[in-house]
């Protein structure tokens, strides 16, 4: 379908990108690290607690969302997007709240350290270590001890998929489900190997020609983009991974790598659901979920997380 008319109105106001303009992480963060909705218009949950925890390597700020009063809860770790160099707890608060409410999961959002100050593998290790911390502190978190899900959008989807791979390898805890929203799963931009990178190359907020520079901050130094913890889609053995929900957007350069990863998971025997939202762009959570066509993404996430697998 065509781009949603309300989204097209916004796209039509954006000037053509300047190929010579470089990304300055600090300036980018000032623009994109703020939520769209004011606090009073965000979804209400039972409680939100912010705290700083100590992992084996560093202190990390987290935000704990509790959906309702209760004795125990399934647990979901949320890793925000932002090309590994932007985003924080506040920027994704309006996304995490409805996931918490619709799923009934207690959600822990993670403010992992960002590139370029902290390139690969530091953000990934932070996400893994906070997940491990949550498991070790399950009693105080009122975790049910069974259901442990990971979720993330864009680069956060990359981190969720990579932590799932690490958890399978290390066997320090078991991840039961993963939710990947328009995930960035292939960080090798030496060629445009997916049709959506060509079809949606320009004019839809995120542009294919800028992806290499956006991800260069995370890939600082000699990073092998074929490594599955960098590009999870390169993992050859996808067996025994958590059940997955992969959500993609029609007008997203990263659409096809997300859908291919979902297909590969299915072929490996992993219970996988794929939903493509038509007429919408990358990054639509929060920005466009007020529109009727996209507001059910949180309900569908909740339904997946509640299913017995």
44 among known catalytic residues:
no
Query: Residue 25 and residue 267: Cα distance in Å, rounded?
Result: 38
How many angstroms separate the CA atoms of 240 and 292, rounded? 36
Q: What is the DSSP string of 16-58?
A: PP-TTPPP-HHHHHHHHSS-SS-GGGSPP-SEEEEEEEE-SS-
86 a catalytic residue: no
**Residue with token string 């690290």:** 33
SS3 for 40-51 is: HHCCCCCEEEEE
Assess whether 186 carries a catalytic annotation. no
- Strand, helix or coil at 108? strand
Catalytic residue among 93, 126, 153, 252: 252
Q: How many C-alpha atoms does 50 have within 13 Å on its Cβ side?
A: 6
- Identified catalytic residue from 86, 103, 154, 196: 154
Encoded tokens for 104:
């009934």
Distance separating alpha carbons of residues 302 and 171, to the nearest angstrom: 26
Distance CA 101, CA 68 (A): 8
Strand partners, 110: 62, 79
Question: Reduced to 3 states, what is the DSSP secondary structure of residue 160?
Answer: helix
Residues taking part in catalysis: 154, 252, 282
């Amino acid at each position: 379908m065509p781009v949603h008319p309300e989204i097209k109105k916004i796209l039509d106001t954006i000037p053509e990108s300047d190929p010579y303009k470089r990304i300055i992480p600090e300036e980018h963060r000032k623009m994109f690290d703020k939520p769209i909705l004011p606090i009073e218009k965000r979804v209400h949950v039972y409680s939100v607690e912010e705290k700083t925890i100590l992992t084996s390597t560093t202190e990390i700020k987290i935000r704990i969302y509790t959906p309702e009063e209760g004795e125990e809860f399934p647990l979901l770790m949320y890793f925000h997007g932002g090309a590994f160099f932007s985003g924080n707890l506040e920027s994704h608060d309006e996304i995490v709240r409805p996931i918490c409410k619709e799923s009934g999961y207690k959600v822990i959002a993670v403010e992992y350290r960002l590139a370029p100050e902290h390139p690969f593998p530091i953000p990934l290790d932070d996400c893994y270590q906070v997940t491990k911390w949550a498991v070790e502190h399950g009693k105080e978190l009122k975790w049910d001890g069974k259901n442990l899900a990971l979720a993330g959008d864009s680069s956060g989807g990359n981190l969720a998929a990579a932590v799932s791979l690490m958890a399978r390898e290390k066997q320090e805890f078991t991840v039961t489900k993963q939710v990947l929203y328009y995930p960035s799963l292939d960080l090798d931009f030496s060629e445009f190997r997916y049709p959506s990178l060509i079809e949606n190359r320009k004019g839809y907020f995120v542009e294919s020609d800028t992806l290499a520079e956006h991800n260069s901050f995370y890939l600082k130094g000699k990073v092998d983009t074929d490594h599955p913890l960098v590009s999870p889609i390169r993992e050859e053995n996808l067996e025994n991974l958590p059940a997955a929900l992969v959500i993609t957007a029609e007008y997203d350069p990263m659409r096809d790598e997300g859908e291919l990863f979902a297909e590969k998971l299915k072929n490996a025997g992993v219970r996988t659901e794929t939903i493509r939202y038509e007429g919408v762009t990358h990054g639509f959570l929060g920005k466009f979920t007020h529109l009727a066509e996209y507001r059910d993404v949180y309900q569908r996430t909740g339904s997946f997380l509640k299913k017995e697998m």
